[in-house]
Amino acid sequence: MSYVIFNGKYVTYNGAFATYTPASIIPPVLNFKLSMIRNQEMNNIVGDAGSTNLTISNISDNTLTIPNLPSYGGFYQDISSWVVVPTNGSNLESPVFCASINDVNHTVIVKDNVARFSIGQNVALYNPFLNYKFVGNQISTPSIAPSDLVGWGNTYCGSGSLMKVGSTYKWLFYALTTSYNQIGLATSSDLQTWNIENNGGPWVQITDLPNCSSIFPSGNIGQIDSSYYCLVQANNATTSLAEIKIMYFDQDVSNRTYSAALKTNAGAGSVTKIGSEYHILYIDVSTSMPYRNLRAAKSSNLDGPYTDYQVSIMFAASAPAGTSWTTAVSAPTIYNIDGSVFGLVGVEGANYAWGGGVNNRQHALLDYDSNTQTWTLNPKGPVMLNPIDWGNTGSSDYSWAVDHDGAGQTLFIDGSSAYFGNTFGSGSNTYRASMTKLNI
């Protein structure tokens, strides 16, 4: 038996079920920290207009003076992972590790490579590890890599959905086989060492569904009675359109059945129950990347039909310059922790002004207003950051994860800990499945 506090209640976990007793502490898992500082206002959703850039006024030895560096307690947490990176001028893909950050003196001391900076240059600071740590030692290899698979997934793999049965963790992940995705099942007793079931082969193949040309899981696993479920994207081989469906299964991830298509021309998001209704976040993929809308839909039944209630939460073509979502939005997930509802969405910036480089997808925090049933982007902006451009620092740490944050996320509460299955990549088609633990 174990306990964790969520939304002012103690949640008692005993196997797959939970009971609740009153408490008085806000759920710590929702306290995502601001992990990227690109302006004095510390509101990473704004564009360049109204944004006060962090500008270097002086360089002395290895010390950068930034007069409008804001006051932020996060600067004094895990200083070894803070980096500073130029957002205009030269060396835009060259972050430099910080030795110290002093928001009283408005100075940043860098460990080396001070020549990469110049007076008058704008900079941003970020720390990918304020909100999570890798589970186990993943410095050189991820939790699941293509080399762990047999006869499939030789190009890439990624996270999907996670559950626990007794003392065994079960992770549905996806992997690319030639030109299509299939689903694997990995099991673990400690979240660090994973065994790929089916002798390293796929667990859910495209033949599991009629007219299916690709399938992958997304979001958390839910439970109705004795049946588990999660959202999957199943591409239709006849129409060549992406569809999102519910996949039902038992605790062995067998006896699988599927709903009809909940949405067509839809990129996978996830589904959760809010009050008496089921809600999904998904991407409309009927248009080109900059116009792909993040949408929200709901239904009184898990199998649908689902009605859109917010059809334009955000899309890249409407983004102001300098935001993190000027190229595309994608890969959304939705979570309901005992009434505390929030979401995450993949965001891609088209220029360096947002601080994360060009075409690096990270995951930003979404707020949900239960009174108006409205989704908005949280001012913290990107909160789940991969080690962006770590390789450009000369470090070989996390070289498999230095480019962007891919699709396929899952949040899993285990006792007093919160785990987040994630997907990181070091370039095009290099995704790897990674198990992380949130810093709560």
277: which residues sit within 8 A by CB, 6+ positions away? 298, 299, 300
Q: What is the DSSP string of 193-214?
A: S-EETGGGS-SB-GGGSTTEEE
Residues 343, 239: Cα–Cα separation, whole Å: 30
Give pLDDT < 50 ranges for the chain.
Answer: 1-26
Asked if 282 and 295 count as a contact pair (C-beta separation under 8 A), the reply is: yes
Residues 412, 230: Cα–Cα separation, whole Å: 13
In 10 A of CB 428, how many CB atoms?
Answer: 10
- Among left, alpha and beta (phi > 0; psi -120 to 50; other), residue 262 is alpha
Phi/psi of residue 20, each to 5°? -130, 140
**What percent of the chain clears pLDDT 70, i.e. is strictly above it?**
93
First to last CA, the chain: 20
Q: What is the pLDDT of residue 23?
A: 35
Asked if 319 and 346 count as a contact pair (C-beta separation under 8 A), the reply is: no
Q: Structure pTM?
A: 0.91
Q: What is the pLDDT of residue 7?
A: 36
Q: What is the pLDDT of residue 440?
A: 81
11: which residues sit within 8 A by CB, 6+ positions away? 3, 4, 5, 18, 19, 20, 338, 413
State pLDDT tens for residues 248-285: 999 999 999 999 999 999 998 999 999 999 999 999 99
